[in-house]
Structure 1
């Protein structure tokens, strides 16, 4: 309309980097076929959400300081093993669902699962409020999970 009336057009330029800010230091990226691990040195905590078709995922939560409140690790994977290292002093809730897989959680022995899901709580005491908690959800078609306290 303004072009048709020969009126000047005002351009409003908004920098996109202030609106959509990406995290340049993502811990693990979504890759279709890949084996990945968190950094071997200390890193700043960010909630971890990973999707993958095939590969091995290793997430070491002991190399960071968890903030107060809930921290999340979410892994969705078709084929492969997921290994998660968690610190001793943090209570953990684990939700694992698989079509075919094995679960070795906190050294309690390997459990074979067929189209099942399990929920494990570890490190919680009755009537105690915790400053930090870790919630882990892992979903696979054909895959194993290993959770180790370190």
Structure 2
């Protein structure tokens, strides 16, 4: 090939690389968008100090890991103990949403005896969600449950 042909091939390769880097997700892991909702419980049915929290995902995902940790613990500890941690040992069912502490089909606690700890109102938590290469996170606080006085 001539020198001009090599320059054109190199130019096309550079343009192709720039396009792939800026306009596709081939090199970057896709992010999962998460929406948090507080769900009030019918009067007199809950003894928890915080309202139940539900999370909605932008699409259906086969989740591989869900972890909730207090943000304060992240400041002092690189790997804090999660208050809720689920993993998928095989294939989980595609899910678009879930409630804190509730079982999810195809997922199980990371350790055999782990149970979700109750959320405390006013404490900031971080939810980590993974589904293969895709991942997402959101910081949230549980709202206090209404008092029965």
- Superposition TM-score, scaled by structure 2 size: 0.28
Structure in which a larger fraction of residues adopt helix: 2
Structure in which a larger fraction of residues adopt strand: 1
